[in-house]
Amino acid sequence: MSQTMGVVERVEASAYTIPTDAPEGDGTITWESTTLVLVQVRSDDRVGYGWTYGSVACATVVDDLLGPLLVGRDPLDVTSAWEAMVRALRNVGRPGIGGMALSAVDCALWDLKARLLDLPLHKLLGAVHDEVLVYGSGGFTTYDDQQLTDQLNGWVHGHDIPRVKIKIGESWGTREQRDLRRVARARDVIGPDTELYVDANGGYSVGQAVRVASRLQDFDVRWFEEPVSSDDLPALARVRRQAGADVTAGEYGHDLAYFRRMCAAEAVDCLQVDVTRCGGITELLRVAAVAAAYGLDVSGHCAPHLHVGALMSVLNLRHLEWFHDHARIETILFDGTLDPTGGALQPAEDRAGHGLAPRPDRADGYRVA
């Protein structure tokens, strides 16, 4: 550990657009590429890395607004830097691009602090778990039966992951029979002992979601994510009261108040949180505390490698999403990625920070900003 810590010297943002390995889609959108915005914060000879999945405009917010606020600050005082950034975003807008930029910088600052102190991130934050349970997530509505079967087989029989999630609610809930056929096929492929989850991405209406929920019980579905839009908390709460499966949401939360409203509305059985959107690790830890106050677990949404270290310190943690698209992108762009075999992630004890380092030799070909 260096005796005299320096200051934040430089903050840099870059963006990479990576084509999917096959067209991907859920209940309400489809996509053929995903953009990762990477933030690098330097102090002394160390660099912290954070990222978000969003528009290249996030890089502009970092370069023009957030980065200049950090230069010259003590890199150990992450919360002070976070507060300055939140203040600066007031008239720019925190929900959306501003919040995603904030999240990427905050994650980079925590990573930098851990690296300056030569600690794995989960040791800096104080771990309460030895590992973070994951579930395989994908099962896109754009997949044909063979693609769905192959992906589920890979997770369950290839990697021994005992939890999986597929997308339903196709075309805004207009393909209900196909949704149910795909759920039936998923159950056939994974066998009776694997937990089966579904995500409608807000594609159904309330009545439809309640009807679908009753059919899902035939296939022992345990998790029904965003059966209706998470913008409509009373609707979500109505489905929750009638569904057998746990109703979950929270992936679009950009600040603490959003999560408090969702909990207070009794809209979910498990609160999802995304460290690349909610305001970074600083806010994720506060979100987990809000959930705990309502007696709820939290589950990490996407970006698996950026969540692991932080979620190790969350007492009321259920699990983390091993999202096909992001797991693949992180494995392409970074060294030090983790293996989900067995259904849990364990960060390396001998790597400081979150343990990942960019691979410019692979990333440069995808760079767009």
- Contacts with Mg ion by CB under 5 A lie at 199, 225
* Closest approach of Mg ion to the CB of residue 41, in Å: 29
* Closest approach of Mg ion to the CB of residue 216, in Å: 16
Q: Residue 120 or residue 136: which is nearer to Mg ion going by CB?
A: 136
Q: Give how far Cα 369 sits from Cα of 109, 260, 327, Å.
A: 21, 35, 22
Contact 139, 173 (CB under 8 A): no
Q: Residue 199 or residue 325: which is nearer to Mg ion going by CB?
A: 199
* Closest approach of Mg ion to the CB of residue 230, in Å: 9
What is the DSSP pairing of strand 270-273 with strand 297-300?
parallel
Assigned token pair, 180: 């149910």
Assigned token pair, 135: 């579930």
* Closest approach of Mg ion to the CB of residue 200, in Å: 9
Q: Residue 111 or residue 199: which is nearer to Mg ion going by CB?
A: 199
Q: Residue 166 or residue 314: which is nearer to Mg ion going by CB?
A: 166
What's the count of helices (H) and strands (E) in the chain, helices before strands? Answer: 15, 14
Q: Residue 111 or residue 226: which is nearer to Mg ion going by CB?
A: 226
Assigned token pair, 64: 């023009």
Any long-range contacts for 206-209 (C-beta under 8 Å, 24+ apart)?
A: 206/235, 206/238, 206/239, 208/173, 208/176, 209/239, 209/243
Number of neighbouring beta carbons within 10 Å of residue 4: 5
| Radius of gyration of the chain measured on its C-alpha atoms | 20
* Closest approach of Mg ion to the CB of residue 226, in Å: 6
Q: Residue 299 or residue 313: which is nearer to Mg ion going by CB?
A: 299
* Closest approach of Mg ion to the CB of residue 274, in Å: 9
